[in-house]
Amino acid sequence: MRVGIGYDVHKLVENRPLILGGVNIPFDRGLLGHSDADVLVHAIMDAILGALGMGDIGQHFPDTDEKYRDISSIILLEQVGHMLKKTGYSIGNIDSIIMAQKPKMAPYLGEMKANISNALGIEPSMVNIKATTTEGLGFVGTGQGIAAKAVVLLKAKR
């Protein structure tokens, strides 16, 4: 059994789509980044890679490589899933949290869960996504950015 944690944060800016969990969420701003800047998926990828002792997403998908510019993070998650399949481990479960003052995430959590479980080829029941505000505190609370954390449990394949 192995455990990994992941954390990601991106700045909210104008003229970018807001993509979280592979879902395009209607909002007046989006996350700034080289890829689609999906902080939820990035945190999950880092958690998986960390549990495997395989570094982080920056090592595998560097922001200096133009082939990753504006790429869907769900595509990158699928690639991490392929890396995982080559090991002696499989996902036991994923628990994650999105920290955003606005917009409300509840209407989109089911679709996010489906996107993530589909990308990894696992049951939706193995993915949990929560959302919270920071009660107006910090960069999340003032609407400057969105953050996400994830924990993954990997179990040895039988």
Retrieve residue 81's tokens: 């899933």
- pLDDT of res. 158: 72
Residues 32 and 47: their CA atoms lie apart, in Å, by 21
Cβ atoms of 8 and 147 within 8 Å: the answer is yes
The pTM (predicted TM-score) of the whole model is 0.97
CATH class name, domain 2-156: alpha beta
- Domain residue ranges of the chain, discontinuous segments joined by +: 2-156
Structure letter (DSSP) for residue 137: -
- pLDDT of res. 44: 98
- pLDDT of res. 157: 82
Tens digit of pLDDT at every position of the chain (158 positions) = 999 999 999 999 999 999 999 999 999 999 999 999 999 999 999 999 999 999 999 999 999 999 999 999 999 999 999 999 999 999 999 999 999 999 999 999 999 999 999 999 999 999 999 999 999 999 999 999 999 999 999 999 87
- pLDDT of res. 61: 96
The alpha-helical segments, DSSP class H, found in the chain are: 39-52, 57-60, 73-85, 109-120, 138-141
- pLDDT of res. 90: 97
